Amino acid sequence: MCQILKIAKSTYYYQTNNCVKYDVNNYEEEVISAFNKSRKIKAVLMRKDIILSRRKIRFLMIKNNLVSKYTKLKYRNHKTMVNNDQISNVLNRQFNNKKPNEVVISDLTYLQVGGEWHYICLLIDLFNREIICYTAVPDQTKPLN
Shared domain for 140 and 105, answered yes or no, is yes
Residue 84 lies in a domain: no
Same domain, 65 and 97: no
What is the predicted pLDDT for the residue at 116?
A: 81
Paired residues of 121 in beta bridges: 108, 135
Asked if the structure places residue 1 within a domain, the reply is no
Domain presence at residue 53: yes
For residue 59, count other CB atoms closer than 10 A to its CB: 16
- Structure letter (DSSP) for residue 56: H
16 is a domain residue: no
So what's the pLDDT on residue 75?
Answer: 66
- CA 27 to CA 56: how far, in whole Å? 10
CB-based burial label for 41 (10 Å; 0-12, 13-18, 19+): buried
97 and 145 housed in the same domain: yes
Whether 65 and 108 share a structural domain: no
pLDDT in tens, 36-55: 888 788 889 989 888 888 88
| pLDDT of the residue at 14 | 64
pLDDT of residue 112: 83
Residue 3 covered by a domain? no
CA 126 – CA 105 distance, rounded (Å): 7
34 is in which domain, residue-wise?
Answer: 23-69
Residue partners of 3: CB distance under 8 A and separation at least 6: none
> Do 104 and 141 belong to one domain?
yes
**Which residues of the chain are under the pLDDT cut of 50?**
none
Q: Assess if residue 57 is contained within a domain.
A: yes
CA distance linking residue 15 with residue 97, whole number of Å: 72
Q: Are residues 64 and 96 in the same domain?
A: no
Domain count within the chain:
2
Phi-psi region of 122 (alpha: psi -120 to 50; beta: other; left: phi over 0): beta
Q: Is residue 15 part of a domain?
A: no
